[in-house]
């Protein structure tokens, strides 16, 4: 049995096509995701830009504006939006902008700050933020002016300033949520689905009716269960190693947060790989089953895990909300849900539920596979 | 019973309405090289698969080495080696690994297996290719690997299903010599092939079957004696004039002559067994002043036997 298993593992290691689909593909996809999501994150970053400031009489007269500009130039408190270049007149500031020394300039006209910028791609992210900051300054200044006009004292105005916080970020899950982890969890589930290839091909080579190799191995002089156990054990090991490699790559290289339950993640991968192995084994007993069919099934089921983008995620959410039982019947959904449960739920109950469902599915598939593999004859020669 | 390697009694195998094996009975003695001959679809492979329990059958009894053969007769299976018609080896494993992987299905002990694998490699003369993967091997080498995988565990009964298909003459001779060697070491061999000359050279007993039935069984000579033709005479006519119809008619009237065919420049005469067939034919030709050149006289071949017993009509490949 050990010899059968070890040769099965050796064959898997040498089967480049199988390794590409089950090991390399998820890793390559995770790198593509990483590149895509990192560009997405970059688009939300407002980097400091070179900005002229016209420091004339109007500037000096604007209440608190100098402090405001200083805050925008400060590198310490996370509001660093501009590197300030001060000019005496608007004409000088405009000339500097045209020369490329700055991307534009800020001047105060009639007590209101005005932002003038030249078209520049590098400033595309920062300019809207800067404009919003200037609007905020103007609103606050007008608000304080109105309060002062109504007779509010400096202490009351200072108290308003302290309370000037409109929204606050709150975290209600153990780990911070990120919209991108869903793709990686779906990708792991996809890798699990592709793992079915390994067990399907392995089983096809022990079932008499599936291939000449299957017929030959059916004539073995050792008990049938040993051949099956050695073959399926090796297939499971192969899928498990591929999934673990993908998991650790996504976690360490891509930097995806899987939460604090690393051990449980391994358990999830163990159960997922078992499910993949048994499902592939059941498919392998179907006469004439092709790898393309298995790939097709995996791709279809992955649609309902949200692997293919926001539209797929909306579809998956709709199915999950409207037909929860149908969603739960999807083995890949269960696999992805395991990781979600570990990351976002305080209790381990949802994780245990997903594991139990996958375990039950694995038992069902294994039973089907064993009943069909036990048959040692084939009627279509 | 103990000397019987294989015993089949009243075997019937049906596919729906079609009867693939029809009440077949067969006994193969230990130490024989038993040839199984038949046209495509005659039931040879089905019979073998029933014996090996790869196929369930509707009726009949199969025994190997005197004991009933079942799908779980692992002890018996360890004594059987099968070389299937299709090359069935692992593409990802080397020659040596392939032989070891199949040998492991019969011999769990690694140390013993190492010796058996080495012996099998020597036997099929693949010593220079042990590290090669199957796709790097030629057709003949691949067939030899297929054989090595089937015989490495040194079975007492070896079943070879058309092992020389698509093999060049040199490799074929090597394979046939190997099979003789296996037999000399004490193995009983069941051999199916479409190549009559192979079966004729190799087999001690031959069964011809068609439509799932046994048509004839016996030694090479016994089978030849079952058909009417005892001698084939060929005469090259070298005269300037073609042979006249009257001469052909005179030859047909000879006592032992069964058929006479004349296609310029060769005359073919089939005779029943007789001591003076050749001199009678040549006597007629000399008497009529016919000049002749090369003359050959040969006994019937197994091919003649096969065609005469199974008929000369073409068979459907897919049958």
Identify the closest residue of chain A to B54 by CA–CA distance: A377
Does the domain formed by B231-299 have CATH 3.30.70.1340?
Answer: yes
Residue A132: Cβ within 10 Å count: 11
Q: What percent of chain B has pLDDT over 90?
A: 41
Shortest Cα distance, chain A CAs vs residue B79, angstroms = 8
- Closest Cα partner for B120 from B165, B67, B187, B54? B187
Cβ within 8 Å, pair A3-B101: yes
Q: Are strands B188-192 and B33-37 parallel, antiparallel or unpaired?
A: parallel
Identify the closest residue of chain B to A223 by CA–CA distance: B74
pLDDT at B317: 46
Cβ-based neighbours of B224, under 8 Å, separated by 6 or more: B299, B300, B302, B304, B305
User: Per-residue b/e over A155-183, b at no fewer than 16 CB within 10 Å?
Assistant: eeeeeeeeeeeeeeeeeeeeeeeeebbbb
Cβ within 8 Å, pair A227-B101: no
Q: What percent of chain B has pLDDT over 70?
A: 97
Phi-psi region of B88 (alpha: psi -120 to 50; beta: other; left: phi over 0): beta
Shortest Cα distance, chain B CAs vs residue A123, angstroms = 57
Cβ-based burial of A69 (10 A; exposed 0-12, middle 13-18, buried ≥19): buried
Identify the closest residue of chain A to B43 by CA–CA distance: A381
B242 confidence band (pLDDT: 50, 70, 90): confident
Mean pLDDT over B187-214 rounds to 88
| Three-class SS state of B175 | helix
DSSP annotation of B128 reads: G
Would you state the structure tokens that stand for residue A206, as one six-digit string? 């022990």
Q: Is the Cβ of B319 closer than 8 Å to some Cβ of chain A? A: no
Query: How far apart (Å, rounded) are the C-alpha atoms in residues A206 and A233?
Result: 13
The single residue listed with the structure tokens 């995996």 is: A298
- Of the two residues A324 and B308, the one the predictor is more confident about is A324
Would you state the structure tokens that stand for residue A367, as one six-digit string? 């039973």
Lowest-confidence segment of A84-88, A135-139, A166-170, B105-109 by average pLDDT:
A166-170
Residue A42: Cβ within 10 Å count: 10
Nearest to B46 among A211, A222, A381 (CB): A381
The answer to whether the CB of B114 falls within 8 A of the CB of B103 is: no
List of chain B residues whose C-beta atoms are within 8 Å of the C-beta of residue A377: 53-56, 71
Query: How far apart (Å, rounded) are the C-alpha atoms in residues B294 and B277?
Result: 16
Residues B147-178 pLDDT 10s = 999 999 999 999 998 888 877 787 788 888 88
Query: How far apart (Å, rounded) are the C-alpha atoms in residues B301 and B223?
Result: 10
Please check the confidence at residue A335 and state whether its pLDDT lies above 90: yes
Number of H helices, E strands in chain A: 18, 4
Query: How far apart (Å, rounded) are the C-alpha atoms in residues B131 and B280?
Result: 63
Query: How far apart (Å, rounded) are the C-alpha atoms in residues A97 and A102?
Result: 5
Q: Is the Cβ of B165 closer than 8 Å to some Cβ of chain A? A: no
pLDDT at B1: 46
A161 confidence band (pLDDT: 50, 70, 90): low
Would you state the structure tokens that stand for residue B105, as one six-digit string? 């299905």
Please check the confidence at residue B100 and state whether its pLDDT lies above 90: yes
Query: How far apart (Å, rounded) are the C-alpha atoms in residues A111 and A58?
Result: 7
Angle at B254 between CA B251 and CA B255, to 5 degrees: 155
Q: Are strands A104-109 and A49-54 parallel, antiparallel or unpaired?
A: parallel
Nearest to A219 among B77, B93, B104 (CB): B77
CATH of span A45-161: 3.40.190.10
pLDDT at B318: 42
Mean pLDDT over A340-349 rounds to 86
Mean pLDDT over B59-68 rounds to 94
Query: How far apart (Å, rounded) are the C-alpha atoms in residues B72 and B76?
Result: 9
Q: Is the Cβ of B13 closer than 8 Å to some Cβ of chain A? A: no
Using an 8 Å CB-CB cutoff, list residues of chain A that contact chain B.
3-4, 7, 10-11, 14-15, 208, 211-213, 215-224, 227, 376-379, 381
Cβ-based neighbours of B198, under 8 Å, separated by 6 or more: B164, B172, B176, B191
The single residue listed with the structure tokens 């020369």 is: A99
Q: Could you give the residue range(s) of every CATH 3.40.190.10 domain in chain A? A: 45-161
Cβ within 8 Å, pair B104-A4: yes
Shortest Cα distance, chain A CAs vs residue B128, angstroms = 22
A23 confidence band (pLDDT: 50, 70, 90): confident
pLDDT at A257: 84
Identify the closest residue of chain A to B58 by CA–CA distance: A379
Cβ-based neighbours of A180, under 8 Å, separated by 6 or more: A33, A37, A40, A256
List of chain B residues whose C-beta atoms are within 8 Å of the C-beta of residue A212: 84, 86-88
The architecture in CATH of the region B4-224 reads: 3-Layer(aba) Sandwich (3.40)
Shortest Cα distance, chain B CAs vs residue A343, angstroms = 40
Work out how many CB contacts closer than 8 A connect A with B.
Answer: 87
Residues A232-262 pLDDT 10s = 999 999 999 999 999 999 999 988 888 888 8
Strand partners of residue B217: B207
Identify the closest residue of chain B to A213 by CA–CA distance: B88
pLDDT at A381: 37
Shortest Cα distance, chain A CAs vs residue B180, angstroms = 23
Identify the closest residue of chain B to A4 by CA–CA distance: B101
Query: How far apart (Å, rounded) are the C-alpha atoms in residues B145 and A177?
Result: 58
Please check the confidence at residue A336 and state whether its pLDDT lies above 80: yes
Shortest Cα distance, chain A CAs vs residue B92, angstroms = 5
Would you state the structure tokens that stand for residue A96, as one six-digit string? 């500097």
Shortest Cα distance, chain B CAs vs residue A18, angstroms = 12
Nearest to B56 among A4, A227, A377 (CB): A377
List of chain A residues whose C-beta atoms are within 8 Å of the C-beta of residue B104: 3-4, 7
Query: How far apart (Å, rounded) are the C-alpha atoms in residues B245 and B247?
Result: 5
Q: Is the Cβ of B15 closer than 8 Å to some Cβ of chain A? A: yes
The single residue listed with the structure tokens 């008619």 is: B249
pTM attached to this predicted model: 0.72
Question: How confident is the prediction for chain A on average, in pLDDT?
Answer: 85
List of chain B residues whose C-beta atoms are within 8 Å of the C-beta of residue A211: 88
Mean pLDDT over A292-306 rounds to 92
Cβ within 8 Å, pair B82-A3: no
Cross-sheet strand order for the sheet of B80-83: B80-83, B157-161, B188-192, B33-37, B205-210, B213-218
Cβ within 8 Å, pair B97-A217: no
Number of H helices, E strands in chain B: 11, 14
Query: How far apart (Å, rounded) are the C-alpha atoms in residues B124 and B145?
Result: 7
Domain boundaries along the sequence of chain B: 4-224, 231-299
List of chain B residues whose C-beta atoms are within 8 Å of the C-beta of residue A15: 92
pLDDT at B301: 80
The answer to whether the CB of A289 falls within 8 A of the CB of A283 is: yes
Strand partners of residue B237: B292
Nearest to A222 among B79, B88, B105 (CB): B105
ipTM: 0.73
Phi-psi region of A229 (alpha: psi -120 to 50; beta: other; left: phi over 0): alpha
List of chain A residues whose C-beta atoms are within 8 Å of the C-beta of residue B89: 213
Residues A41-68 pLDDT 10s = 666 667 888 899 999 888 888 888 888 8
Backbone angles phi, psi at B262, to 5 degrees: -125, 115
Question: How confident is the prediction for chain B on average, in pLDDT?
Answer: 87
Cβ-based burial of B203 (10 A; exposed 0-12, middle 13-18, buried ≥19): buried
């Amino acid at each position: 049995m050990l010899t059968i298993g070890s040769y099965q593992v050796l064959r898997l290691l040498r089967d480049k096509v199988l390794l590409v689909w089950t090991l390399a593909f998820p890793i390559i996809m995770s790198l593509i995701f990483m590149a895509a999501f990192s560009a997405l994150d970059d688009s939300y970053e407002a980097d400091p830009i070179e900005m002229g400031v016209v420091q004339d009489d109007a500037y000096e007269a604007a209440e608190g504006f100098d402090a405001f500009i200083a805050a925008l130039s400060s590198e310490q408190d996370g509001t660093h939006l501009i590197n300030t270049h001060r000019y005496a007149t608007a004409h000088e500031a405009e000339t500097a902008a045209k020369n490329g020394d700055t991307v534009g300039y800020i001047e105060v006209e009639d007590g209101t700050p005005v932002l003038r910028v030249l078209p520049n791609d590098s400033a595309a992210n920062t300019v809207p933020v800067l404009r919003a900051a200037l609007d905020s300054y103007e609103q606050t200044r007008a608000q304080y002016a109105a309060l002062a006009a109504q007779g509010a004292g400096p202490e009351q105005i200072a108290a308003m300033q302290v309370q000037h916080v409109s929204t606050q970020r709150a975290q209600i899950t153990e780990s911070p949520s990120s919209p991108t982890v869903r793709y990686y969890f779906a990708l792991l589930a996809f890798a699990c689905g592709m793992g079915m290839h390994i067990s399907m091909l392995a089983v096809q080579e022990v079932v008499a009716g599936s291939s000449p190799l299957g017929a030959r191995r059916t004539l073995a002089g050792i008990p049938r269960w040993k051949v099956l156990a050695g073959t399926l054990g090796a297939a499971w090991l192969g899928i498990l190693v591929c999934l673990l490699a993908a998991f650790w790559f996504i976690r360490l290289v891509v930097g995806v947060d899987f939460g604090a339950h690393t051990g449980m993640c391994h358990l999830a991968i163990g159960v997922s790989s078992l499910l993949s192995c048994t499902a592939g084994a059941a498919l392998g007993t179907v006469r004439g089953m092709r790898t393309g069919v298995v790939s097709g099934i995996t791709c279809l089921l992955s649609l309902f895990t949200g692997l293919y983008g926001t539209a797929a995620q909306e579809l998956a959410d709709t199915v999950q909300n409207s037909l929860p039982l149908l969603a739960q019947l999807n083995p890949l959904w269960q696999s992805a849900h395991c990781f979600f449960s570990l990351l976002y739920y305080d209790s381990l109950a949802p994780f245990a539920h997903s594991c139990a469902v996958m375990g039950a599915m694995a038992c069902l598939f294994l039973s089907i596979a064993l009943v069909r593999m036990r048959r040692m004859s084939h009627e279509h020669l | 019973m103990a000397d019987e390697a294989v015993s089949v009694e009243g075997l019937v195998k049906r596919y729906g309405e079609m009867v693939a094996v029809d009440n077949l009975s067969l006994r193969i003695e230990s130490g024989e090289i038993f040839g199984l001959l038949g046209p495509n679809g005659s039931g040879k492979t089905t019979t073998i698969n029933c014996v090996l329990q790869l196929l369930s059958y509707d009726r009949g009894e199969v025994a190997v080495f005197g004991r009933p053969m079942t799908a779980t007769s692992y002890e018996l299976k360890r004594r059987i080696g099968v070389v299937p018609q299709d090359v069935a080896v692992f593409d990802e494993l080397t020659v040596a690994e392939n032989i070891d992987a199949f040998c492991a299905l019969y011999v769990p002990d690694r140390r013993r297996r190492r010796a058996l694998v080495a012996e099998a490699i020597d036997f099929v003369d693949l010593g220079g290719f042990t590290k090669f993967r199957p796709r790097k091997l030629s057709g003949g080498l691949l067939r030899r690997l297929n054989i090595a995988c089937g015989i490495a565990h040194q079975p007492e009964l070896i079943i070879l299903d058309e092992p020389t298909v698509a093999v060049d003459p040199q490799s074929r001779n090597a394979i046939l010599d190997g099979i003789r060697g296996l037999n000399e070491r004490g193995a009983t061999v069941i051999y199916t092939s479409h190549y009559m000359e192979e079966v004729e050279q190799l087999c001690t007993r031959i069964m011809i079957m068609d439509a799932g039935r046994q048509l004839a069984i016996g030694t090479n000579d016994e089978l030849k004696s079952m058909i009417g033709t005892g001698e084939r005479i060929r005469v090259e006519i070298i005269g300037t004039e073609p042979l006249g119809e009257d001469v052909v008619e005179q030859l047909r009237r000879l006592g032992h002559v069964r058929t006479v065919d004349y296609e310029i420049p060769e005359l073919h005469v089939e005779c029943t067994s007789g001591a003076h067939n050749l001199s009678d034919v040549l006597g007629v030709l000399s008497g009529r002043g016919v000049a002749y050149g090369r003359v050959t006289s040969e006994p019937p071949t197994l091919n003649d036997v096969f065609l005469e017993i199974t008929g000369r009509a073409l068979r459907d490949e897919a049958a």
